[in-house]
Chains A and B, each alone.
Chain A
């Protein structure tokens, strides 16, 4: 019986470790806003965001895909209209399932601003 207990004590994962892991989880800080089993877990990587934004811009019919870089300005470099900028911002909103307030959307003028906004938005997916 004592031998069995001794063997099991070796095999069983001590509860101590689980408590340590639990406290590690609560020390995540800002990312502690991530809850287990929540659907808000998919925080995108910067490269992902860049790729998807560039795809959206390249598939715009009035845009020449060869000129699109992550720093391109919609009106100066790509020669687009202000209304075209509005359309691109709406397409980005649809791509990342975001809701951008009107004042913020007005300020998005270039790819770099768009990428920054999407990356820093907590709800982009």
Chain B
């Protein structure tokens, strides 16, 4: 494939690399959701990494697209129904729980005794 190293090609490859990174990140988090115990998680994370590494040298742009689509389909299939979300993040248990009071509200420390200096 001659003359393919144009800016469009590199832009497409960069977009694909970003998709791969985000897919790997989500897949890793999902693996942690399913495999809570660390020793199981490490084994599964290694397997996931092997799957990604096996395809890392592919140069054909269309084949890369197909592989990414296949990976995303598999990720969708394996998504955890109750993922761990950090409590204060949207979806977590502490989200919007104790909002900071507005700045106008303040505590009067000498309520009832304003007359006494």
Contact = CB atoms under 8 A, between A and B. Distances in A.
Nearest to B29: A90
A33 B103 CA distance: 8
Interface residues of A, number: 26
A15 to B, nearest CB: 5
B22 A102 contact: yes
A82 B22 CA distance: 11
A37 to B, nearest CB: 10
A93 to B, nearest CB: 8
Nearest to B27: A86
Contacts of B34: none
Interface string A76-120: 000000110111011000000111001001100000000000000
Interface in B1-56: 17-18, 20-22, 24-26, 28-29, 45, 49, 52-53
Given A15-B110, A86-B21, A102 B26 contact: yes
Please classify the interface of chain B as helix (H, G, I), strand (E, B), loop, or mixed, using the class held by over half of its residues.
loop
Interface in B43-79: 45, 49, 52-53
B28 A38 contact: no
Contacts of A26: 103, 106
B100 A35 contact: yes
Interface in A57-86: 82-83, 85-86
12 contacts: A18-B110, A19-B110, A21-B109, A32-B103, A82-B17, A82-B21, A83-B49, A86-B25, A89-B25, A99-B88, A102-B22, A106-B21
Interface of B: 17-18, 20-22, 24-26, 28-29, 45, 49, 52-53, 85-86, 88-89, 92, 98, 100-101, 103, 106-110, 113, 116-117
